[in-house]
Amino acid sequence: MLETRKATLFIVATPLGNPADLSPRAAATLADAAVVLAEDTRRTGMLLKACGVTARRLMSSHEHNEEGRVRQVLAWLGEGLDVALVSDAGTPLLADPGYRIVRAAREAGHPVSPVAGPSAVAAALSAAGLAPYPFSFLGFPPRSAGEARELFARFGATGATLVFFERKNRLGDTLAAALAALGDRECVLCREMTKTFEEFLPGKLSEFAGRDLELLGEVTVVVGPGALGRCDEAAARAVLAEEAAAGGKPREAARRAAMRLSGWTVKELYAMLTDREHD
């Protein structure tokens, strides 16, 4: 009896801009799949050409036709045909459509397999020079300043590093919303990553907020950890002092402070507090 491999939905990461970042396995998967589903077939067609890969069939799948594609993908997989899903650049789904297709394939019992490769989020965090984790990724923040502020405030409260994408004409306004919600944190604007004009612009949010940054194009923004982040011991001491002043046993004060402080343990704070009390 012949054992047949089950048809698989491959989620294939593609380069952020440099064709030499396409892995041999990604190239082989895109060449072998019965269908390659791309956000923009023209863009993916150019990438495949640059990498010397010929797809057997290249079709579009984007947020406006995803619902219909779900049925087709399930039909292809049911017929034993492998399908590869790509986005315009990087790892699909992270801020792109495709989630409904992946979910439907899994629920129908088909294997879904990641062909790991470039991700703008990971690349930016690895090279920005800001504390890389814990971090939260926010996709493209909402266009309304009020809603963007709310989003930044909610994730900012964790004290974590934040990563988001923004388009050139929105960048100054979105950074102004970040400044209003997060205070004047460190940030790095990452543009043209992996390409000839790759650039990392470090600064404080206040240096970029509200300015005309249209020349920068689309960027990946990394915002460093907040005052409650694990890296700022002075902020930890201040919060701890507040909680100690509020009364109760030192361990209780340390516990309450730990609830407010990202990355600081009750034990560390208790030690800090009792050390100080021995001064």
Identify which of residues 104 and 244 has a Cβ nearer to its own copies in the complex.
104
Return the number of the residue (95 or 180) whose C-beta is nearest its own copies: 95
By CB under 8 A, tell whether 239 contacts its own copies.
no
Site for its own copies in 169-228 (CB under 8 A): 193-194, 198, 200, 202
Over the window 90 to 129, marking each residue x when it contacts its own copies by CB under 8 A and - when it does not, the resulting string is xxxxxx--xx--xx-xxx----xxxxxxxxxxxxxxxxxx
What's the min distance (Å) between Cβ of 235 and its own copies? 15
Q: Which two tokens stand for residue 13?
A: 């990461």
According to CB under 8 A, which residues from 55 to 94 bind its own copies?
Answer: 90-94
**Site size toward its own copies, by CB under 8 A:** 76
Binding window for its own copies (CB under 8 A); candidates: 42-50, 64-72, 167-175, 257-265: 257-265
User: What is the C-alpha separation between 218 and 89, in angstroms, rounded?
Assistant: 13
Task: DSSP for 186-249, please give it.
Answer: EEEEEESTTSTT-EEEEEEHHHHTTS--GGG-SEEEEE---TTSTT-HHHHHHHHHHHHHT-S-
Task: Give the nearer residue to its own copies in terms of CB position, either 3 or 279.
Answer: 3
Of the residues 67, 75, 133, 207, which one makes contact with its own copies according to CB under 8 A: 133
Distances (CA, A) of 59 to 9, 33, 45, 55: 15, 12, 10, 10
248 contacts its own copies (rule: CB under 8 A)? no
Of 35 and 193, the one with the shorter C-beta distance to its own copies is: 193
Query: Does 152 engage in binding with its own copies (CB under 8 A)?
Result: no
The answer to whether residue 145 forms part of the interface with its own copies (CB under 8 A) is no
User: Whole-number minimum distance, CB 11 to its own copies, in Å?
Assistant: 4
Burial class (CB in 10 A: 0-12, 13-18, 19+), 118: buried
